[in-house]
């Protein structure tokens, strides 16, 4: 995974609450292979009308926001389904950072596992960032070392779990780290089998 340190990029304001993962990627697109890319299906029903034509009122279709890598939304972003495809859609579209006052827990960990930064700001700070962007600021600057985000004339702090921050800063992958603990895993499982012999699924005849 590519390390994340700082990012200065076009930012897109999405002043909506509860943008759930069903909206981020509708179920009907989830049969596709990741290799084909999910970016075209991000927020599909918000971006396109019934005939598939881009909706002019959708900020993602605003010519000034093309190439956006930072998304700013209201609270409870990424709530709902655990579908990691919601993160694939954001990442494949080009986003590297989502800023909101709160995130769905599973979404946030999926995001970190794909190098997408879920940055938590307070609700007033979020409103201030949204206001700057909607009043014409085009870009934002996110600094994961300093835990700050700036847009237009506003600079605010953000928070993220320190473990996730370290993971993103280094671009680490969990599986390799876990494998280095193989001996501890086997020891735990052996001790557990003695302590909880009933844990294993019983298979009954028939």
Task: Point out which residues bind another protein (CB under 8 A).
Answer: 15-18, 20, 22-23, 26-28, 30-31, 34, 45, 50, 74-76, 79-85, 87, 102-106, 109-110, 113-114, 123, 127, 161-163, 166, 174-175, 177-179, 181, 184-185, 188-189, 192, 196-204
Q: How far is CA 1 from CA 103, 144, 170, in A?
A: 22, 16, 8
Nearest approach in angstroms of CB 165 to another protein is 10
Nearest approach in angstroms of CB 67 to another protein is 26
Give the nearer residue to another protein in terms of CB position, either 62 or 123. 123
Nearest approach in angstroms of CB 129 to another protein is 13
Give the nearer residue to another protein in terms of CB position, either 30 or 58. 30
Dihedral angle computed from the Cα positions of residues 183, 188, 189 and 194, in that order, rounded to the nearest 10 degrees: 130
Give the nearer residue to another protein in terms of CB position, either 35 or 56. 35
**What's the order of all strands across the beta sheet hosting 117-120?**
117-120, 97-100, 70-73, 6-14, 139-143, 148-151, 154-157
Distance CA 55, CA 15 (A): 17
- For 148, residues 6+ apart whose C-beta sits below 8 A from its C-beta are 142, 155, 156, 157, 158
Nearest approach in angstroms of CB 114 to another protein is 7
Give the nearer residue to another protein in terms of CB position, either 96 or 102. 102
């Amino acid at each position: 995974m590519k390390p994340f340190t700082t990012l200065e990029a076009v930012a897109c304001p999405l002043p909506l609450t509860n943008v759930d993962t069903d909206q981020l990627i509708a179920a009907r697109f989830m049969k596709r292979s990741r290799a084909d890319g999910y970016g075209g299906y991000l927020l599909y029903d918000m971006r396109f009308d019934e005939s598939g034509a881009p909706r002019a009122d959708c900020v993602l279709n605003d010519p000034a926001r093309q190439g956006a890598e930072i998304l700013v939304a209201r609270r409870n972003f990424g709530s709902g389904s655990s579908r990691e495809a919601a993160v694939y859609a954001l990442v494949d579209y080009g986003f590297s950072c989502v800023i909101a006052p709160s995130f769905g827990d599973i979404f946030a960990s999926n995001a970190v596992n794909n190098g997408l930064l879920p940055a938590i700001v307070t609700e007033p700070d979020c409103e201030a960032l949204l206001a700057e962007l909607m009043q014409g600021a085009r870009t934002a600057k996110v600094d994961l070392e300093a835990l700050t985000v700036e847009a237009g004339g506003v600079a605010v702090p953000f928070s993220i779990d320190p473990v996730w921050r370290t993971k993103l800063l280094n671009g680490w992958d969990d599986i390799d780290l876990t494998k280095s603990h193989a001996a501890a895993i086997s020891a735990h499982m052996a001790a557990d089998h003695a302590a909880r012999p009933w844990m294993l699924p019983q298979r009954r005849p028939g």
